[in-house]
Amino acid sequence: MSMFFIVQKKLLSENMNRFSQLPEFEKEFSKLSRKYSSLFEDLKKLEKLLSTYPVGVGINFVTIYHSPEAKIVKARLACKSLKNRSIRVIYAYHDDSTTFVHIEIYYKGDKENENQERIKRYLKTLK
């Protein structure tokens, strides 16, 4: 395993108290981060923004599901490696515990829309 991925895992674990990831997200993130080297740094910037504005600010954030348990948000993530073209990040925000769960990440050029079935499976785990 390269030093980059060891440091990356360590930094991810430092923020684990507020941010977690579904296994599918981890796999997609790993694949995309090999392709787009700035992705890890870009995601950290998004997480820093979400610490202040949990459901985002502006037109780059759309709440696609809202319930007392969680809000599911689709965010456009500007990726430096893509010359600021967008990667999409789907995440859940739990207001009661102030935690986030990354559900899905994808490049808009590779995939048109989010995986609705994955979101439904995640919401079923909340009940």
**Tens digit of each residue's pLDDT (9 = 90 or more) over 5-38:** 444 444 444 444 689 999 999 999 999 999 999 9
pTM of the model: 0.83
Average per-residue pLDDT for the chain: 86
DSSP 50-76: HHHSTT-SSTTEEEEEE-SS-EEEEEE
Reduced to 3 states, what is the DSSP secondary structure of residue 81?
helix
Burial 2-31 (b: 16+ CB within 10 A, else e): eeeeeebeeebeeeeeebbbbebbeebbee
Stated as kind and residue range, the H or E segment containing 19 is: strand 19-21
Task: Provide the CATH number for the domain around residue 16.
Answer: 3.30.2310.20
